[in-house]
Amino acid sequence: MKMIDIQNQKDTRNIDIEKVGVKNIKYPLIVLDRARGTQPVNASINMYVNLPRHFKGTHMSRFVEVLNEFQGQISIKTFRSILEKIRHKLHAQSAHMEIEFPYFIEKTAPVSEAKSLMEYRCLFAGENSAEKTDFLVGVTVPVTTVCPCSREISKHGAHNQRGMVNVKVRFNKFFWIEDLIKIVEESASGEVYSLLKRTDEKYVTEKAYENPKFVEDIVRGVAVKLNEDENFVWYSIEAENFESIHNHSAYAYLEKG
Amino acid sequence: MKMIDIQNQKDTRNIDIEKVGVKNIKYPLIVLDRARGTQPVNASINMYVNLPRHFKGTHMSRFVEVLNEFQGQISIKTFRSILEKIRHKLHAQSAHMEIEFPYFIEKTAPVSEAKSLMEYRCLFAGENSAEKTDFLVGVTVPVTTVCPCSREISKHGAHNQRGMVNVKVRFNKFFWIEDLIKIVEESASGEVYSLLKRTDEKYVTEKAYENPKFVEDIVRGVAVKLNEDENFVWYSIEAENFESIHNHSAYAYLEKG
Amino acid sequence: MKMIDIQNQKDTRNIDIEKVGVKNIKYPLIVLDRARGTQPVNASINMYVNLPRHFKGTHMSRFVEVLNEFQGQISIKTFRSILEKIRHKLHAQSAHMEIEFPYFIEKTAPVSEAKSLMEYRCLFAGENSAEKTDFLVGVTVPVTTVCPCSREISKHGAHNQRGMVNVKVRFNKFFWIEDLIKIVEESASGEVYSLLKRTDEKYVTEKAYENPKFVEDIVRGVAVKLNEDENFVWYSIEAENFESIHNHSAYAYLEKG
Amino acid sequence: MKMIDIQNQKDTRNIDIEKVGVKNIKYPLIVLDRARGTQPVNASINMYVNLPRHFKGTHMSRFVEVLNEFQGQISIKTFRSILEKIRHKLHAQSAHMEIEFPYFIEKTAPVSEAKSLMEYRCLFAGENSAEKTDFLVGVTVPVTTVCPCSREISKHGAHNQRGMVNVKVRFNKFFWIEDLIKIVEESASGEVYSLLKRTDEKYVTEKAYENPKFVEDIVRGVAVKLNEDENFVWYSIEAENFESIHNHSAYAYLEKG
């Protein structure tokens, strides 16, 4: 039996669609890991193509077929090939993909040297057409922040809290996410760990107190370091502090023009 | 035309259902407010009845009809009548309802006396049958917590963070949520505000530093105060700290046996 | 005692910040309502200003002071004044504000004419500087969608599901959100209701089956209608279907160039 | 230097705490997989112990140390040993652990036989004391549901939607999660897939239409099958349908008494 291909029918409304596809597919992937070679991750994926005005619909199952094909090989290095494959398989002019995943790095506590795994959230996002390829990498890093104002005006103590710093970069050549995370962690009042013994807790408390930072300081601090590396041709940096004295966040955002 | 009533058909699997109904209905309600008489709130509501083994299904639209009927009068005082109305209208032996809503209270900053509104999350939950009526009220209160261990072992500073304290109570006679919130706020290292000027920030920072609390201290502190009021015949208390030096929470839970 | 104003200190890193401020403030507001004059809503608010390179920080409490001042009067009509007030009060060149809130509209079931309240999610977002004011209004509308392909190829039935359609518009003169919602609801396979009796359920099921739509059809359908009204000088439209046969979404996005 | 052990200090408030520990730790684990031997997963973990009245606090870092120790060997088979280890290491009378993780199973489309991976959400939860060990396994399964009432009363079509079915079981001997998932999928109107070609879409649409189910039918259908297997000594079953004609859910819950 021949089935009608509704998606391939003509559309007469004369309206192009920028992006059409599948959103929020949960998928296990293998990504590169500097310390261990590779790391299995549980990703959430969006895949889109453009749809020219004369077509009624897109063949959505083809996105998942491309995903199946590349499952073990998705990385900064293969992203462009995947986008091109999507574009060709769906007969589109442009293809888009966004992949978010948790990524674990083993950290060493500063004094006890106890090892533990910390989760960071990563993003690969890109677009490909005959004219151009765009690709960006993002990472969200939990940090400790001590308020400089609170510290300065108070007899003792200073309010501090967990913050989340999100950095996205465009770049010319391969780099390790681990290095980007390090830049962020060095720009905050202190790093966050999964496992701290009491000697470590003393160390991180004192270090953070001696190193107070507003959200404004964090985004500027990261920017200064990214400016020093010409590999990063564009970036956006946002810092959000889950204020311990308020029920809302302090927030700062900047991007390289 | 007479429509078949599928829900009323016989079911032969011989299995009773504890709860069947509608979940996550968004609805605007009017609740009592000590300072202002009433307060309009945006609630999220679940409504269930039991379903005896010989019926195939429940008539779900009737739940929303009861909601429409009581929209302007839902309170600690009318909850039982609403449950009875549900039970009768759906020909059920038991009825359940859960209503969650944000509730705003005007707070005064401790030094500047600047006014602002703070959001708390409230819960009304109850069950009614011919044999019994059960009703509980819950509230989630954001607080500041300073770590006693970090303070003790560190030269200066102490890690602190926002915490969330959830208290649920069963009780004999009407009480104001405002009083329950006050008990929680007094049991933490400090209160959280929407608006603090610099003089306030100094005050809350110093007060919290002088008043360090583990999650263990908070749940015990709230329990001690609830034990003093014989109106509260049962309670559960949980405290969760969004640790500023970790990417996970510290957590404590206790209930009155 | 004179307190040091840390935020006012000089910063030497030479980096401007696009946005700095407060995020995710929960606040009760009064908004305009076509049917009832006004409607109390529970909003979530972000407020930012730019920060020139030579200042260390922003005075975050001032945002909440502006919010307190305008609490009862936030609307499409006053948004610009609020942004200007923020800009002046914080000595900034640009101000940004985003307000999200649930908004309830009474709907009438198509056959039984039973009344009930439906929640829609609204957004006001804007930016103001000496050179320009930008303002957009958004709304997220739940709808029913029946798959045209599934209907065409299947002997009987067709997979259908809840979808969410988000529309954002820039415009020249005041309009009612209610009209924008209507445009979206007419572009889907069917409308979503809080209360439907059995006669209504028959009606909406049959109407949706006779009116199948891909996400592609919905965004194009909304675009065609917005193109007919010259008040809408820009728009973006996204449709997401929570597919009933998949565990992921189908998605389409377009915007007016 | 000897640091003071604040947690070990006496507490005089005379209040036992049921659970104290760490919540929402993100951690990569290896779990058993029937088809492939093992599967790497990204888990979210809670670990608690009781705290007798005379101790001020718990040593939270020890939970993460136990986790590090068992990282590659967490399963239905080792859960009890882990709980005992926690209990002993923290000098507690009872220990609790909850582990939630996404779990992927390769599915074969019903006609095209195309392979793809589906995500299910799993839970291991348990408690251990000298007197007893309790352990339960849960799984959340996305399904398709067609409304029997809508189908019966409508000329053509029937509203359908994605539903989520959550089953928790207590049991005597090891079983495969894959078998529990199969029971749920067979009790719904149809299964959900990541990849369906058009021939498959026709098949699943028609099969679901011929097999309409209320949430009431789903929980009863699962109960009937679990009752047939004496390994399952207790269960709870909940079904939630994200109704395509409403913006709320239909919900049913039952448990084995």
The reply to whether A30 falls in a domain is yes
Residues B257, B136, single domain; the answer is yes
Residues B141, B93, single domain; the answer is no
Residue C2 has pLDDT above 80, yes or no: no
Selected residues 24-43 of chain D with any CB under 8 Å from a CB in chain B: 24-26
Are the Cβ atoms of A196 and B243 closer than 8 angstroms? Answer: no
The reply to whether A107 falls in a domain is no
Shortest Cα distance from A96 to chain B (angstroms)? 31
Give residue B80's Cα distance to chain centre.
17
Owner of token pair 């060709």: A88
The reply to whether B114 falls in a domain is no
Q: Which residues are CB-neighbours of B246 under 8 A, at least 6 positions away?
A: A192, A193, A194, A196
**A65 touching chain D per CB within 8 A:** yes
* Domain-terminating residue out of B102, B123, B156: B102
Write out the residue range of the structural domain in which residue A59 sits: 15-99
Confidence (pLDDT) at B223 = 97
Confidence (pLDDT) at B1 = 55
Are the Cβ atoms of B160 and A161 closer than 8 angstroms? Answer: yes
d(CA D199, CA D205): 10
pLDDT digits (tens, 9 = 90+) for A62-81: 999 999 998 777 888 889 99
Split into its structural domains, chain D has a count of 2
**Smallest Cβ distance to D154: which of C159, C161, C202?**
C202
Chain B residues inside the 8 Å CB shell of D21: 250-251
Confidence (pLDDT) at D246 = 96
Residues C31, C99, single domain; the answer is yes
CA atoms within 13 A on the CB side of C212: 21
Report, as an integer, the average pLDDT of A229-244. Answer: 97
Are the Cβ atoms of C51 and A4 closer than 8 angstroms? Answer: no
Chain A residues inside the 8 Å CB shell of B206: 154-157
Confidence (pLDDT) at B107 = 97
In the structure, what pLDDT confidence band is assigned to residue D87 with cuts at 50, 70 and 90? very high
Whether ipTM exceeds 0.90: yes
The nearest alpha carbon in chain B to D25 belongs to B248
Burial class (CB in 10 A: 0-12, 13-18, 19+), C123: middle
What is the number of CB-based contacts under 8 A between chain C and chain D?
A: 135
The nearest alpha carbon in chain D to A202 belongs to D3
The nearest alpha carbon in chain B to D10 belongs to B217
DSSP string, A45-98: EEEEEEE-TTB----THHHHHHHHHHGGG-STTTHHHHHHHHHHHTT-SEEEEE
Residue among A22, A132, C127, C210 at smallest CA distance from D194: A22
Lowest-confidence pick of C10-14, C160-164, C244-248: C10-14
Chain A residues inside the 8 Å CB shell of C255: 18
Residues B156, B199, single domain; the answer is yes
Shortest Cα distance from B114 to chain D (angstroms)? 36
Residues A151, A57, single domain; the answer is no
The nearest alpha carbon in chain D to B246 belongs to D25
Question: What is the percent of chain A with per-residue pLDDT over 70, rounded to a whole number?
Answer: 99
**D194 touching chain A per CB within 8 A:** yes
Residues A178, A87, single domain; the answer is no
Residue D1 has pLDDT above 70, yes or no: no
**Smallest Cβ distance to D42: which of A25, A102, A114?**
A102
Q: For A236-254, b where at least 16 C-beta lie within 10 A, e where not — what string?
A: bbbbbbbbbbbbbbbbbbb
Question: What is the percent of chain D with per-residue pLDDT over 90, rounded to a whole number?
Answer: 87
Chains touching B, CB cut-off 8 Å, 3+ pairs? A, C, D
CATH number, domain containing residue A176: 3.10.270.10
d(CA C152, CA C214): 12
Are the Cβ atoms of B192 and A158 closer than 8 angstroms? Answer: no
* Domain-terminating residue out of D55, D85, D102: D102
A110 DSSP β-pair partners? none
Residues C196, C248, single domain; the answer is yes
Encode chain B (257 residues) as per-residue pLDDT tens digits: 578 888 888 888 899 999 999 999 999 999 999 999 999 999 999 999 999 898 899 999 999 999 999 877 788 888 999 999 999 999 999 999 999 999 999 999 999 999 999 999 999 999 999 999 999 999 999 999 999 999 999 999 999 999 999 999 999 999 999 999 999 999 999 999 999 999 999 999 999 999 999 999 999 999 999 999 999 999 999 999 999 999 999 999 999 96
Residues B151, B250, single domain; the answer is yes
pLDDT digits (tens, 9 = 90+) for D166-214: 999 999 999 999 999 999 999 999 999 999 999 999 999 999 999 999 9
Residues A151, A51, single domain; the answer is no
What is the number of CB-based contacts under 8 A between chain A and chain B?
A: 134
Are the Cβ atoms of A224 and C15 closer than 8 angstroms? Answer: yes
Q: Mean pLDDT across chain C, nearest whole number? A: 94
Are the Cβ atoms of A201 and B243 closer than 8 angstroms? Answer: no
In the structure, what pLDDT confidence band is assigned to residue A1 with cuts at 50, 70 and 90? low
pLDDT digits (tens, 9 = 90+) for C140-179: 999 999 999 999 999 999 999 999 999 999 999 999 999 9
Give residue A77's Cα distance to chain centre.
16
d(CA A58, CA A79): 22
Are the Cβ atoms of B220 and D149 closer than 8 angstroms? Answer: no
pLDDT digits (tens, 9 = 90+) for C178-207: 999 999 999 999 999 999 999 999 999 999
* Domain-terminating residue out of C103, C131, C159: C131
Chain A residues inside the 8 Å CB shell of B142: 247
The reply to whether B35 falls in a domain is yes
The reply to whether B124 falls in a domain is no
pLDDT digits (tens, 9 = 90+) for D121-163: 999 999 999 999 999 999 999 999 999 999 999 999 999 999 9
Shortest Cα distance from B228 to chain A (angstroms)? 29
**C146 touching chain D per CB within 8 A:** yes
Confidence (pLDDT) at C140 = 98
Are the Cβ atoms of B15 and D253 closer than 8 angstroms? Answer: no
Residue among B114, C24, C25, C7 at smallest CA distance from A150: C7
